Amino acid sequence: MTTQTDLAIVVPVLNEIEALPRLLQHLRHWQQRGAEVLLVDGGSHDQTPETARAQGFRVLDAARGRATQMNSGSRACKADNLLFLHADTRLPDGADQAVLAALANHPHVWGRFDVQIEGRSRMLPLIARLMNLRSRLSGIATGDQALFMSRELFERVGGFPEQPLMEDIEISKRLKSVVAPICLRQTVTTSGRRWDSRGSWRTILLMWQLRWAYWRGTPAQQLAERYR
């Protein structure tokens, strides 16, 4: 029996038709557990939104851009607690209970999961451990770690900045200025296709270069051009 929970899972999607069956199967599990599930499509041309709607999922159309899509999704949801899930990331068992327990004690709370990365490269376990350690030490999280927060706090910091890259880093900085994150030890699983396709060392170097440049004040639009 489904029990309604006060948690919305917002998933930005764009041309995900190949991976969509697995994604929808995963999301249906949380839907059946009572979570409000919303996919936000950024203009797919491969039948992603039509297929998801045919499977009984709620899909919102929005302007393209992960930050824009997630902000639009948050406004369309009713729940007081928000979890932002990338389309290639999977939540662990009991994730809904872990998030709600973390958010239960105060309206100004946010956090993220640890992450593990699936892929061919032997470097991926080490990369994941370093990501988790860096996040725990810095208080900065990435979207791959499934950010969650109260709606009140999300609105207080103005949501995700409407920029084409580093929106997760920027909102983490804003959230951290209010309160330190809760770093859950449970692990989400995300795709390592970025590292597999570009090479582990090359991707690591690129990401550090982009983060350094962003910290130095390079506009996100310029960094997005380098990231493509």
Residue 222 domain-assigned (yes or no) = no
**Residue 158 clears pLDDT 70, i.e. is over it:** yes
Residue 197: CB atoms within 10 Å? 11
The rounded distance, in Å, linking the Cα atoms of 105 and 108 is 9
**What pLDDT is stored for residue 212 in this prediction?**
67
Give the tens place of pLDDT for each residue, 24-80.
999 999 999 999 999 999 999 999 999 999 999 999 999 999 999 999 999 999 999
How many domains does the chain fold into?
Answer: 1
Residue 59 domain-assigned (yes or no) = yes
Residue 145 domain-assigned (yes or no) = yes
We report the CATH number of the domain holding residue 120 as: 3.90.550.10
Residue 134 domain-assigned (yes or no) = yes
Token digits of residue 85: 């899930």
Residue 156 domain-assigned (yes or no) = yes
What is the pTM assigned to this prediction? 0.89
Residue 76 domain-assigned (yes or no) = yes
* Residue position matching structure tokens 């970025």: 194
The rounded distance, in Å, linking the Cα atoms of 36 and 82 is 9
Q: Domain of residue 73: give its range.
A: 8-192
CB of 33 closer than 8 Å to CB of 96: yes
